[in-house]
Amino acid sequence: MISDPHFAAYSFVDRIDEFESGRHGRGTFAIPAHIAAFSPALVAEAVGQLAAWVAMDHIGFRGRPVAALATETRFHADARPGDTLELSADVYECDDDAVAYNGRATVAGHTVIELVDCLGPMLPVVDFDDPQAMRERLALLRDGGAQAGRFRGVEPIPAQVTEREPGVSLTAIVDVPARAPFFGDHFPRRPVFPATLLLDTQMRLAVDLAREAPMMRGAAPRAVRMTHVKMRSFIVPAQRLAIDVKLKPADDDTLATTLSAKTDKRTVATARLVLARDAGDAVHEAIGTAVMARAVVQ
């Protein structure tokens, strides 16, 4: 039984198979089959964590990157419990101040997510975690990998809608938990609410609102692209957030969504999200066929 949340409750790299310090990494994460879901935001987190290992090693674990800017994230398909994510990160700038990278995640050779032009400022590792523990973790990931199945899932963060214009806009209140297992991993010395959990909450609210838009005609909206992600400050335990979501038609097939989060009337995060009518699960059906074919060959 896994009780220590460190490297378990919010860590999404099991093994690193290719590693060029400060340049490139390839690795995997096996999504446990027993959890309820693994959201696109967590897939993006997995890619970002691989990039972070490549960057931290390059600067001798003096700093660690934190989420700040992401020019574009492209959502191609969902990853599901039981899938194995194949992760790739390409770092094109890295020093003690910041890391810039691109990355992607695939399942059975099919791309599920792409990250384009992400930037994370470096902050002192010692403020967040034990540098020696981080070095030892990277050594483990590169030499056989960590125990699979550590992650036990994250419950969706509750959001109370306080204002709503159906199919147009809404405002919701989110109370960040005062305690949660993921804080033991994000981060042990300085708990910070993960930006990807905020984005996941905003995306769920946007999809719910988009269902009411006339152009969707009862279809299931699907996130296809997120741009201009900007985290302006840390979100800490027990903080209350006000989330605003606004929709407008972008063209005949998509809705453009603006997302923002505020605390004490101060904006802490902004992003734009593009939603489209869900064309079905053809991509994941192809993934399933590929996985079955591999099993037959083996």
Residue-wise pLDDT tens digits, 39-84: 999 999 999 999 999 999 999 999 999 988 899 999 999 999 999 9
| Residues whose CB falls within 8 Å of the CB of residue 283, separated by 6 or more in sequence, listed in order | 76, 77, 110, 112
Residue pair 256/234 in contact (Cβ under 8 Å)? The answer is no
Let me know the angle formed at the C-alpha of 6 by 192 and 48, rounded to the nearest 5 degrees: 60
Domain range list for the chain: 15-297
According to DSSP H, which parts of the chain are helical? 40-58, 131-142, 195-210, 282-297
Give the least confident one: 111-125, 167-181, 211-225. 211-225
State yes or no: pLDDT of 193 exceeds 60: yes
CATH fold of the domain at 15-297: Thiol Ester Dehydrase; Chain A (3.10.129)
Q: How far is CA 284 from CA 27, 111, 287, in A?
A: 21, 10, 5
> Is the pLDDT reported for residue 284 higher than 80?
no
In the chain, the percentage of residues whose pLDDT exceeds 70 is 91
pLDDT of residue 3: 65
Q: Can you give the pLDDT at residue 265?
A: 86
The pLDDT-based confidence of 290 (bands split at 50, 70, 90) is very low
The first and second tokens of residue 240, run together, are 């209350």
Look at residue 286 and tell me whether its pLDDT is greater than 60. Answer: no
- Does 184 or 217 have the greater pLDDT score? 184
pLDDT, tens digit (0-9, with 9 covering 90-100), for 221-265: 999 999 999 999 999 999 999 999 999 876 668 899 999 999 988
Summarised one tens digit per residue, pLDDT across range 108-152 is: 999 999 999 999 999 999 999 999 999 999 999 999 999 989 999
Task: Tell me whether strands 240-249 and 254-263 are parallel, antiparallel or unpaired.
Answer: antiparallel
